[in-house]
Structure 1
Amino acid sequence: MSASADVRAPGAAGLGASPSTATMISLLAASSLTIMASTVISPGLPGMEAHFADDPDAALLTRLAVTLPGLLVAIFAPLAGGLSDRLGRRRILLAAMVLYVLAGMSGLLLDTLPAILVGRAMLGVAVAGVLTSASAMAGDLFRGEAQTRFMGRQASAMGFAGLIFLTGGGLLAEMHWRAPFGLYGIALLVLAAAAVFLPETRGAAARSQAAAEDDGATAPWGSLAILYFLGLGTMVAMYVMPVQLPFRLRELGMDAPSQAGLALGVFTLVSSISAFGAALLRGRLGAGGMFALSFLGLGAGLAWVSVSSDLLSICLGGAVAGAAMGLTMPNLFNTVVSLAPARVRGRATGGMTSAVFLGQFVSPLLSQPAAEAWGYGGAFLAAGVFAPLLAVVALLARRSFRA
């Protein structure tokens, strides 16, 4: 099937019309905002912890500032997905982006940990709307090979954004731990582009077309549940990087926030590059085989970081883990979008969004006790051992991932 035959843009763009380059870029930019949601402030965590040193729970609460948005995404993503099915993708996306700007930048002004955590919680609600509606919109606009390619581009764009924002966050954190919160203002530019270029893909005509395409097909919720588990597990393992890496570096005598920003930037850069190959590998290995490969790579990268003692070696281990993540994320969302009938696509992608961000929230609740018991290297090693177990699950369930 040709690429042009695989692309559809119902709604305002007209049924069957190919989305414009401006539409594609705007959708990629909106998706890229989610990479900023939690990790952009990660390099400033030691400074935040020092600022609130009088709070006996500062160590845990500062880490929750990174992961709390994930909990709120996990709670609200299914609701956001259902609303996007009912009210329209574009409407939910634009409203969520407005909240994203306000909540994200609130850390510039708030001066108590509880208040900052409230702002981070509202950011999570916003991310639930942005990522769920953007992913569902992508499923509406693209089909077949074009859909696989777009999901790879989406993961790649998020990786490149991560390099810019995480490295920038590290440099800004050198000035003050609050400074990285200012990066959320970039979303204003994306909001303007989205308002101009993104069509409504869930109008009355589009709903009629979706009903015709579904032809009474039942949603494979069992297969989707397995994918949700894999998404959750991926984030439990991977999120040791942004949450614990600054403290692992400090444990090794590397205290500069810019060093953490560099290591995390390498992780996301390699992730973005490897995402370009996601479509090719998926075609050759299938969804289950690609999951197995990427989970083994993730485990190897995290284990490498666990035994590293210098910044170069840590960056190399992060690069291996990043390459694996670049294959994992587009495979997760593409498989969900491929399996889900159009009428429940918002709810299906909302479920994956929920699973991914629930994993982000749970990760430090598991890695922090591991770090206290075995050191930060031990926490990375535990995550490295866990990731290959996901490969086993993926291989056992590989037949259920075929659309």
Structure 2
Amino acid sequence: MAIWRDSRAVALLMAATLTVMANATISPALPGLQQLFADDPHSALLTRLLVTAPSLSIALLAPLVGLAVDRIGRRVLLLAGIMLFVIAGSAGLYLPNLPTIFLSRIVLGIAVAFIMTAQTALVGDYFAGEARSALTGLQISARNFGGLVFILLAGLVAAVSPRWVFGVYGLALLVLPIAWTVIVEPRRTLSVGHVAYTSGSEEQRKWRLPFLGLVVLQSATNMFFFIMPTQLPFFLDAKGYSSAAMTGMTLSVLMLSGGSVALAYSRIQRAIGYAGVYAIGYAAMASGFLLLVTSSAAPLLTLAGAALIGAGYAAVSPTFVALTLALAPPHRRGVAGGVLTASVFTGQFISPLLSTPVIMTAGYEGLFLDAAVLLASMAAIALGGTLLQARDTRPFR
């Protein structure tokens, strides 16, 4: 595949793996961290929020980072983000308590905002057409396969000490010299962009409403998906067949299935269109949560449910990026990428805040059933859009 021969694409795919590492890597260590800091009266909530703490700062800062990416440049913020990622990510190795570790995770989110926003803009600047569509799918695949490696490694080291998972973040150092060498600042084409999208023009305003819809939908999608890394360890523990290794295995299946589906994204999208991708993706996620409802009777159903959720999420995720890069004018790709990034992590951050009260009132099975019903409704709406599109494009006879 030609895109693999482009060193810039390889560097961007390596940087993409860091975004999964930011949140889900510490999931296998959550029960151990809660026990390690059991003296903290808020340990139950804080340990869950450690997974999504980076999401808070990303959600708040990513749009501003997007402005900086458009004004200052893509390369410098990407490299700064990688360096800050290593420092903040590994800080949990030596910080003394949960509140300080939580703060380090907030700083980690700033690093991820730099990386993801600059990366999205660079994909739009460097590539177009089929190459861009392929790369958006490969990014999700890289995140999933990277997550597979990181979570498996985290599950192994968490069995020795829950603090050791923070050392996994040091692997980001491997990305820095490659990105430093091959990522160059794209040539600016603002004059072209402003000809097509003059300030306040009708063309510029037209892209904002559909983009807002993408932002809301992506936030909801990530809210459902992040039930897995934030609540799954405790669900497994409550069912009596949990361990750090089991959590790592289940989340690795989640990543492996997602990475495999994302590899074929461009072919799937060409075959069934964007609405069809949404319909199949949300249906798969709904089916996965339904399997989790019944997984108490057969633990292997947990792995099957995780596989379906990962596959469905990986199917829909590249579509958000592809549609955003197609909608946004070139000189607004940084801002659009920042807002889109913020929507991802807004959904991730609010996921445990909304799912934990549901668990307290309806249990884990109630949470999974509610998620399944809502995702099935989203799939039905997308399917309706697919049928309408097929009818509208049917040749007249």
Q: Would you say same fold, with TM above 0.5?
A: yes
Shift of 1:92: 1.0
Within the alignment, does 1:231 sit opposite 2:207 as a pair? Answer: no
Within the alignment, does 1:120 sit opposite 2:108 as a pair? Answer: no
Shift of 1:377: 2.5
Task: State the partner residue of 1:364.
Answer: 352
Task: State the partner residue of 1:14.
Answer: none
Secondary structure at the counterpart of residue 162 of structure 2 = coil
Residue 254 (structure 1) aligned to one of 201, 223, 241: 241
Task: State the partner residue of 1:48.
Answer: 33
- Whether contact under 8 Å (2:4, 2:10) holds in the other structure is no
Secondary structure at the counterpart of residue 311 of structure 2 = helix
Residue 184 (structure 2) aligned to one of 156, 181, 199: 199
- Whether contact under 8 Å (1:237, 1:384) holds in the other structure is no
User: Aligned residues, how many?
Assistant: 383
Secondary structure at the counterpart of residue 218 of structure 1 = helix
Within the alignment, does 1:160 sit opposite 2:148 as a pair? Answer: no
Shift of 1:392: 4.9
Q: Aligned letter for 2:314?
A: G
Residue 35 (structure 1) aligned to one of 13, 20, 29: 20
Residue 218 (structure 1) aligned to one of 194, 204, 216: 204
Shift of 1:395: 5.7
Shift of 1:397: 7.2
Give per-residue Cα distances to partners, 1:34-82, cap 9 Å, x unaligned: 0101100001000011111122211111101011111111111111111
Task: State the partner residue of 1:266.
Answer: 253
Shift of 1:165: 0.6
Q: Aligned letter for 1:47?
A: G
Task: State the partner residue of 1:12.
Answer: none
Secondary structure at the counterpart of residue 39 of structure 2 = coil
Secondary structure at the counterpart of residue 159 of structure 2 = helix
Give per-residue Cα distances to partners, 1:237-275, cap 9 Å, x unaligned: 111111111111111112310000000000011000001
- Whether contact under 8 Å (1:306, 1:377) holds in the other structure is yes
User: d(CA) in 2 for partners of 1:70 and 1:133?
Assistant: 17
Task: State the partner residue of 1:91.
Answer: 76
Shift of 1:20: 5.4
Task: State the partner residue of 2:341.
Answer: 353
Task: State the partner residue of 1:380.
Answer: 368
Q: Aligned letter for 2:330?
A: A
Give per-residue Cα distances to partners, 1:158-201, cap 9 Å, x unaligned: 11001101111111100111111111111111011101111112
Shift of 1:352: 1.0
User: d(CA) in 1 for partners of 2:155 and 2:253?
Assistant: 13
Bigger mean CA offset, 211-220 vs 344-353: 211-220
- Whether contact under 8 Å (1:248, 1:377) holds in the other structure is no
Secondary structure at the counterpart of residue 204 of structure 2 = coil
User: d(CA) in 2 for partners of 1:364 and 1:223?
Assistant: 28
Q: Aligned letter for 1:283?
A: R
Residue 290 (structure 1) aligned to one of 249, 274, 277: 277
- Whether contact under 8 Å (1:230, 1:390) holds in the other structure is no
Unmatched segments (≥5 aa) in structure 2: 390-397
User: d(CA) in 2 for partners of 1:389 and 1:95?
Assistant: 41
Identity across the alignment (%)? 38
User: d(CA) in 2 for partners of 1:19 and 1:138?
Assistant: 14
- Whether contact under 8 Å (1:240, 1:367) holds in the other structure is yes
Give per-residue Cα distances to partners, 1:5-60, cap 9 Å, x unaligned: xxxxxxxxxxxxx9952211111001110010110000100001111112221111
User: d(CA) in 1 for partners of 2:327 and 2:102?
Assistant: 36
| 1:52-201 alignment runs, 5 A limit | 52-201=37-186
Task: State the partner residue of 2:268.
Answer: 281
Unmatched segments (≥5 aa) in structure 1: 5-17
User: d(CA) in 2 for partners of 1:140 and 1:333?
Assistant: 13
Shift of 1:285: 2.2
- Whether contact under 8 Å (2:81, 2:114) holds in the other structure is yes
Within the alignment, does 1:325 sit opposite 2:313 as a pair? Answer: yes
User: d(CA) in 2 for partners of 1:123 and 1:390?
Assistant: 32
Shift of 1:111: 1.6
User: d(CA) in 2 for partners of 1:31 and 1:209?
Assistant: 29
- Whether contact under 8 Å (1:19, 1:141) holds in the other structure is no
Residue 308 (structure 1) aligned to one of 295, 303, 315: 295
Shift of 1:142: 1.0
Cα distance change of structure 1 residues 308 and 242 upon mapping to structure 2, 3 Å threshold: same
User: d(CA) in 2 for partners of 1:292 and 1:19?
Assistant: 29
Give per-residue Cα distances to partners, 1:97-133, cap 9 Å, x unaligned: 1111111011111121110010000001111110111
| TM-score where L is the length of structure 2 | 0.92
Q: RMSD value over aligned CA atoms?
A: 2.0
Secondary structure at the counterpart of residue 43 of structure 1 = helix
